[in-house]
Structure 1
Amino acid sequence: MLTVLTPSYDRARTLPRLFDSLLRQASMDFEWLVVDDGSTDETAALVDGFATRAPFAVRRVFQSNGGKHVAVNTGVDQARGDWIFIVDSDDWLPDNALQVVTAALQPVKDDAGVVGLCFRKTDALGRVLGRECADLPVPWAAAPTQAGRRVRGDLAYVFRRKAMAAVPFPVIPGEKFVPDQYAWNRIGDQGTILFYLDRAVYRCEYLEDGYTRNFSIHLRRNPRGFFLFYAAQIRREPHFVDKLKAAVRCAQCLAYRAARRVRTDGMEG
């Protein structure tokens, strides 16, 4: 079984769109697991209502607000599927998405060396994000950092649950965000990730209060989480310029962390 995992915080206004897209799937061999990250809106009643009328399993797990990365950890622990497809609460799927995913899983599901599959994302109008990659083989075996540099656009990952469970996101007191790529890279260290860059299975919309539009704010609020990612990228990036960019981000994180410490000490004083 495939688990569609959706971390959600106060997204009652967008969850119906995702649910409707799941109802339209050509394949129903999946469960939808919503990890409610301490929502204060109508998320609980909404998802519980979905569960009463869906032709697939719908489950909601509640946790105190800890951030998306903690919600993903919870979802991995609670998932019943062998494979996990993370779909954010403000995004949705084209009608054939899960059929495409399950078809790609069939030849590799028993190959323990394959830890993940990856597909393209599109915007709300169906336009593929990032560069065209017609020159690459299908599937293409690559690491997330390598693929990200080639595509230059968001990608839709499906990971083996055991591989995700082996390298959970770090939980940092006082912070609520660790970049996804930090964990995806560590999953890729365990085995092969196959990229199907000729197939789009995910549609996304960048909301005003979402991560993409508020990168700088997240960086200031979560310097230790971002430092973990950028420090690891210094080693992973093959080119000097990219290593230098990661080092500059590390310096930013250290500066934000020091500034936070000064503010905390001042408040205590």
Structure 2
Amino acid sequence: MITVLTPTYNREATLPRLYESLCAQTCKDFEWLIVDDGSQDETQRLLLEYSDTAPFKVQVFYQPNGGKHVALNLGVRKADTPWIFIVDSDDSLVPNAVECVIDAVVALGEANVVGLCYRKAYFDMRVVGRNVENSDSPVIMSPTEAGHFFKGDLAYIFKTEAMLKYAFPVVPEERFVPELYIWNKIGDEGDIYCFGSTTLYLCDYLEDGYSKNFSSNLRRNPKGFLTFYWAQIFRENDLRYKLKFLLRSIQCYLYTLFNRFS
């Protein structure tokens, strides 16, 4: 029912942790699909080993380095299941994550659902973002609304057919487009159910990751960020956010000019 989709680049050191968490899943009704985005370390050797020993289906694809968003596009096209759970190669899942997602999909039945949203926590189990009161009932939110409400990164599971409809744009000579740009488009297709008190995903923010290198990432990928920021101006209801993203758009435009003439 579910594809755990992992784009990876030079994550030989952290992939074993993710693999072990997948092996520990209480439900093995999933496939693990990895897209190696041109790794130069021992990632390929590890993935070959996992393909031979995993207690679940493993698919491995390789592409020249093009960025996480390009790897996601390839992975979505290769997925063999109706649902996709994106899990980064430096993160992991709690043991009942897959079981929890499948139970939610079955419970929602024929509802107009295109996605599920759960909380992330650090490896010491501190929730990323804002704590909310315990509730067994999910709330329907757009990804933009959920980001503002929970004030932290969230774990998403989307219908494969919706992800196929909205591929990430590919900008020549750039390596990044913010994921929220596509998550919002998927949310336009139907409902995303947010389980605000359920943590399924464990994460860390590495020194060479996107989150800790926002400024340099913005300078290197201004067109990709501009695509997101400009779209976000029209999605936001709060004038403060509209102004914030307008200023970011101007910043991206200036970086584009600088990169062109440098």
TM-score by length of 1: 0.95
Counterpart code for 1:64: P
Helix, strand or coil: the match of 2:93? coil
Distance 1:13 1:239, change over 3 A: same
Tell me, in whole angstroms, the C-alpha distance in 2 between the residues paired with 1:22 and 1:146: 30
**Distance in 2 separating the partners of 1:240 and 1:150:** 16
How many angstroms does 1:108 deviate by?
A: 3.0
User: How many residue pairs align between the two structures?
Assistant: 262
Deviations 1:173-203 (A, max 9, x none): 0101000101100100111100011100000
Task: State the match for 2:155 in structure 1.
Answer: 156
For 1:138 and 1:260, locate their aligned partners in 2 and report how far apart those are by CA, in whole Å.
Answer: 48
The Cα of 1:134 is off from its aligned counterpart by 2.0
- Cross-structure match for 2:47: 47
Match in the other structure for 1:97: 97
Gaps of 5+ in 1: 264-269
Q: How many Å apart are 1:95 and its aligned residue? A: 1.1
Letter in 2 for 1:80: D
Partner of 1:175: 174
Identity of aligned residues (%): 51
Task: Report the CA distance between 1:240 and its aligned residue.
Answer: 0.7
**Counterpart in the other structure of 1:87:** 87
3-state DSSP of counterpart to 1:104 = helix
Structure 1 window deviating more from structure 2 (137-146 vs 222-231): it is 137-146
Aligned counterpart, 1:58: 58
Tell me, yes or no, if the aligned pair for 2:135 and 2:197 is still in contact at 8 Å: no
Q: Quick one: structure 1 residues 105 and 200, their matched pair in 2 at CA, closer, same or farther if it must change by over 3 Å?
A: same
* CA distance in 1: counterparts of 2:134 and 2:242, whole angstroms: 26
Aligned to 2:126: 127
> Which residue identity lines up with residue 101 of structure 1 in the other structure?
V
Corresponding residue number in structure 2 for 1:188: 187
Q: Which amino acid aligns with 1:133?
A: V
Residue number in structure 1 paired with 2:240: 241
User: Is 1:228 the counterpart of 2:227 in the alignment?
Assistant: yes
Determine the structure 2 residue equivalent to 1:141.
140
* 2:7 alignment counterpart: 7
Q: Is the 8 A contact 1:138 1:198 kept in 2?
A: no
Aligned to 1:267: none
The corresponding residue for 2:78 is 78
Q: Is the 8 A contact 2:134 2:197 kept in 1?
A: no
5+ residue gaps, structure 2, are none
Residues 62-86 of structure 1: per-residue CA shift (max 9 Å, x gap): 0111100000000000001110000
CA distance in 2, matches of 1:198, 1:136: 6
* Match of residue 251 from structure 2: 252
